[in-house]
Structure 1
Amino acid sequence: MADVLAVVREMEPGWLVVALAAQVLSQVAFAQQQRVLLAALGVRVAGREMLAITYSRSAISMALPAGWSPGASRGCARDASGRQSRRPARLRPVIGHGPSGTPY
């Protein structure tokens, strides 16, 4: 912990602001990309909601041992009849099964 505090004390505030701005811009751009892709499939998601989903998926991908694969599998879900699901990821459970017991 002492090493971390030493690094924090030596940081230049200007570079911290630049890094924070770049990270926020990256998340906003990814959220917008996802909105455009979902809109092409006929699914409308508000910008703020998509940004919240993007941040939560990023956090999950960093925290889980499988990395991004659980989030990616939610984007490729199929409904109970085997067709590609058009329901937005926010309406599907994080881990679970469809109405007929079919895994997402």
Structure 2
Amino acid sequence: MKLLNTYEDKEAAEVALTKVQGPKRLASERDDTQVIYNLFGEPSWGNFYRLGMFQLPELQTLITQRQNGLAYNEKKHHEIITMLQYIAGNFELTIPEHWL
């Protein structure tokens, strides 16, 4: 398990915990007077998508538009893929070919 995300709101952290599949846990820590909630789980594109991270829902829309022959924002697609290449390296993931 790796740290997937950090939350300042307990309710938001608990909702996120329900979205993650596989082994997971929520740990809290106090930073001065504020409590921070760390969500740990298996890093996967599915879990990141369910959490709405790294613009994956937007990427899905762009890919669907491209597959259907519709106009799509190529610049935005490139920006998201560039970011995902960095994320993939950090979490030892492979970007699916059909996303590129």
Check whether TM > 0.5: no
Bigger helix fraction: 1
Higher relative contact order, structure no. (Cα contacts within 8 Å, ≥ 6 residues apart) = 2
Structure number with greater Rg is 1
Higher strand share: 2
Q: Give the alignment's TM-score, normalised by structure 1.
A: 0.25
Q: TM-score, normalised by structure 2?
A: 0.26
